[in-house]
Amino acid sequence: MCRAGFPYIYILVFVYLVVSCHASIGDRTQFFHNCRQNCERQNCSADGIEIQEQAIKYYQQSIFDKAFAWNCADECQYGCMWRTVDAFAERGWDVPQFYGKWPFVRFLGMQEPASVLFSILNLIAHIRWLRRFRTEVRPDSPCYKLWHIFSFICINGWIWSAVFHTRDFPVTELMDYAFAYSIVLVSLYCMIMRMLHRRSIILRGLISLIFLSFFVNYFAYLSLGKFSYSLNMTTNMITGALSALGWLVWSYLERHRRPNYRKIIRFYILFGMSMSLELLDFPPILWLLDAHALWHLATVPVISVFYDFIIDDCRLLRKEKQYDDEKYRKHI
């Protein structure tokens, strides 16, 4: 999602993400491994509720930590992560990553509190703009239902983003990856459906079935567990680039007929700029705010630009439909 230079920004971002996924030095150190092994052997080795309760009391868990299922092994991993960070700092080394992530201070049981907060802000933004869309666009407008599909999928995606950043489990990771891609895929789908809104329902139904089948198969692929991160990033990159390219071509062709094309261009420019924040990867400020969280924050105001465009577009399409209907009636 961006301007003419969007595909290049997208490539840079995702290549960087692929590289960073394999740059987890912290959890590979012997220091971290020994610390975690000793901690689990001393506190978590026995099965049974009593040992687990003792460990929970030892780590002084809050009600939020318990609610988000921080068990003894998780506490060992969390504690040893910070011991490893301190060991690196004492030697003047850079802050290490652990399992592909920077170390974050846990807050109210959340692993990445800033990303959780900003994911929720994106969720709220979509809900508020969907309500405004319903207020300002009549239900009989072309593409009215189409943009509802877009909004619902985005809302679902941001819910799972908040869940995943709250607690990183295999199932929450799966849902985050899958439904994050669903947002990218539905953007491409809606772009195509918008261009073909006058075509036959059979053609549009066939394309919809193809997209749905593709996502179901991709979800099944991600569910296998051992998927390729590079392939996942490449798939996102290609899908997003196709969506952006489609809107850019449309903007060029419609630039004389539809002045609102500037809004979709503006959206892609701003979105591309927000995505570039991922290139500024750095250790979290105050152990809370990293580049990924800032990216989530930056997308919140950008959402309004896109909804502003589709509201104008639906209104214009409705006027065109009324004009065509009147012209047809006069012809009859």
What is the separation of C-alpha 97 from the centre of its chain, rounded to a whole number of angstroms?
21
What is the structure's pLDDT at 18? 41
Q: List the chain pLDDT tens, one digit each, 332 residues.
A: 433 334 434 433 443 444 444 447 888 899 998 998 888 888 776 554 445 555 566 667 788 888 888 888 888 889 899 999 999 999 989 898 898 888 999 999 899 999 999 999 999 999 999 999 999 999 999 999 999 999 999 999 999 999 999 998 989 999 999 999 999 999 999 999 999 988 889 999 999 999 999 999 999 988 886 667 788 888 888 999 999 999 999 999 988 888 888 999 999 999 888 888 877 778 889 999 998 999 999 999 999 999 999 999 999 988 877 665 566 566 65
In this structure, the answer to whether residues 147 and 188 fall within a common structural domain is yes
List residues bridging with 289 in a β-sheet: 285
What gap in Å lies between CA 167 and CA 111, rounded to an integer?
6
- Locate 315 and state its tokens: 């209104």
DSSP 103: -
Q: Which domain holds residue 213?
A: 113-330
Does the residue 2 lie in any domain?
Answer: no
Which residues touch 232 (CB under 8 Å, ≥6 apart)? 177, 181, 222
In this structure, the answer to whether residues 250 and 207 fall within a common structural domain is yes
In this structure, the answer to whether residues 66 and 126 fall within a common structural domain is no
Q: How open is the CA angle 4-9-14, to the nearest 5 degrees?
A: 140
What is the structure's pLDDT at 22? 44
Does the residue 145 lie in any domain?
Answer: yes
What gap in Å lies between CA 123 and CA 158, rounded to an integer?
5
In this structure, the answer to whether residues 72 and 121 fall within a common structural domain is no
CB burial of residue 311 (10 Å; 0-12, 13-18, 19+)? buried
In this structure, the answer to whether residues 52 and 165 fall within a common structural domain is no
- Locate 6 and state its tokens: 């969007």
Which residues touch 44 (CB under 8 Å, ≥6 apart)? 51, 52, 55, 71, 72, 73, 76
DSSP 46: S
Q: How many domains does the chain have?
A: 2
What gap in Å lies between CA 83 and CA 290, rounded to an integer?
20
In this structure, the answer to whether residues 241 and 325 fall within a common structural domain is yes
In this structure, the answer to whether residues 284 and 218 fall within a common structural domain is yes
In this structure, the answer to whether residues 308 and 259 fall within a common structural domain is yes
The closest of 246, 238, 228 to 190, measured between CA atoms, is 246
Stated pTM of the model: 0.84
Does the residue 216 lie in any domain?
Answer: yes
Element (H, E) at 116: helix 113-136
Does the residue 310 lie in any domain?
Answer: yes
Sign of torsion over alpha carbons 183, 189, 195, 200: negative
Does the residue 17 lie in any domain?
Answer: no
Helix and strand counts by DSSP (H, E) for the chain? 12, 0
What gap in Å lies between CA 104 and CA 77, rounded to an integer?
12
Does the residue 3 lie in any domain?
Answer: no
The closest of 321, 319, 303 to 147, measured between CA atoms, is 303
In this structure, the answer to whether residues 85 and 197 fall within a common structural domain is no
CA dihedral 315, 318, 323, 325 (to 10 degrees): -170
The closest of 9, 1, 96 to 277, measured between CA atoms, is 9
What gap in Å lies between CA 120 and CA 300, rounded to an integer?
10
The closest of 290, 190, 277, 171 to 240, measured between CA atoms, is 190
List residues bridging with 285 in a β-sheet: 289
Question: Residue 190 belongs to a domain with what CATH number?
Answer: 1.20.1070
